């Protein structure tokens, strides 16, 4: 299970205060389905400037997880980050709980559009067939998480022998309900700062996942033989 990103990042106090001062609306209001539906021009101004143009850079975590997956040591990645870091790093079996900025489609005809189409639009990106706003396929406030993703996440956690939490905690508002389904042997957490819930883990490593995962050594043989 990978770190929370996207909305969680802009909720941080200093960032949220700055955004509200500049846009005149709080983060929770703008990052909502109601705001997308009623104020699409303002929604996309906020979405493009704050969520897309300030997207975090890919790190070493993605390729390291992909190497683990290829070695048969990782069965599934469950990610709440809308930036699709695991898949971009090479992972194949990924559940994006909150969707991905790379998936956009027309709500009416379902035509798909790349991220570049959203970014290049002068104001609101419109479907060139239906002339209505294209919908970023991410979970906004006021919407339920996709039920199929929820079911698949529960199934993957239930059958896991080891659960690896990256950049998050056992008390995570996003992952807590899913973690309760874990009945395996090892619960390992890698995050930067200690948390009171760490006591319930089998192992805790206090560091950024991008610093730790490459040290596991998966993929080294391929690199040496290349």
> What are the tens digits of pLDDT across the range 48-92?
999 999 888 889 999 999 999 999 999 999 998 899 999 999 999
> Going by DSSP bridges, is the β-strand pair 99-105/112-113 parallel, antiparallel, or unpaired?
antiparallel
- For 50, phi and psi rounded to 5 degrees? -95, -35
Domain 7-225 class in CATH? alpha beta
- Tens digit of pLDDT at every position of the chain (226 positions): 776 555 556 777 788 888 899 999 999 999 999 999 999 999 999 999 999 998 888 899 999 999 999 999 999 999 988 999 999 999 999 999 999 999 999 999 999 999 999 999 999 999 999 999 999 999 998 888 889 999 999 999 999 999 999 999 999 988 999 999 999 999 999 999 999 999 999 999 999 999 999 999 886 544 444 3
Dihedral angle computed from the Cα positions of residues 14, 16, 19 and 21, in that order, rounded to the nearest 10 degrees: -70
The values of phi and psi at residue 225, to 5°, are -90, -5
User: Closest by alpha carbon to 165, among 128, 201, 196, 120?
Assistant: 201
CA angle 72, 77, 78 (to 5 degrees): 155
What pLDDT score was predicted for residue 226? 37
d(C-alpha 7, C-alpha 50), whole Å = 10
CA dihedral defined by 120, 133, 112, 76, rounded to 10 degrees? 90
- Going from N- to C-terminal start, the domains of the chain cover 7-225
Question: Tell me, what's the pLDDT at 3?
Answer: 63
Mean residue pLDDT across the chain: 91
How high is the pLDDT of residue 224?
43
Tell me which residue of 138, 122, 199 sits closest to 6, measured CA to CA: 138
Write down the pLDDT at residue 222. 46
Residue-level pLDDT at 142: 85
Answer yes or no: pTM beyond 0.85: yes
């Amino acid at each position: 299970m990978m770190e929370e990103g996207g909305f969680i990042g802009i909720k941080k106090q200093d960032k949220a205060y700055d955004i509200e001062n500049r846009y005149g609306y709080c983060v929770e209001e703008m990052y909502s389905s109601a705001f997308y539906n009623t104020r699409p021009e303002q929604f996309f101004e906020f979405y493009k400037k704050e969520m897309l143009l300030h997207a975090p850079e890919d790190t070493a975590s993605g390729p390291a997880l992909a190497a683990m997956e290829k070695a048969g040591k990782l069965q599934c990645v469950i990610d709440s980050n809308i930036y699709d870091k695991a898949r971009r790093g090479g992972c194949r079996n990924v559940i994006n709980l909150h969707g991905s900025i790379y998936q956009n489609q027309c709500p009416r005809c379902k035509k798909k559009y790349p991220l570049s189409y959203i970014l290049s639009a002068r104001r609101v990106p419109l479907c060139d067939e239906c002339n209505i706003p294209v919908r970023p396929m991410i979970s906004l406030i006021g919407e339920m998480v996709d039920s199929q993703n929820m079911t698949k996440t529960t199934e993957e956690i239930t059958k896991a022998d080891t659960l690896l939490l990256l950049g998050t905690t056992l008390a995570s508002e996003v992952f807590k309900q899913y973690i309760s389904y874990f009945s395996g042997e090892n619960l390992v957490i890698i995050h930067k700062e200690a948390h009171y819930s760490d006591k319930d883990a089998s192992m805790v490593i206090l560091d950024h996942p991008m610093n730790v995962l490459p040290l596991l050594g998966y993929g080294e043989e391929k690199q040496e033989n290349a």
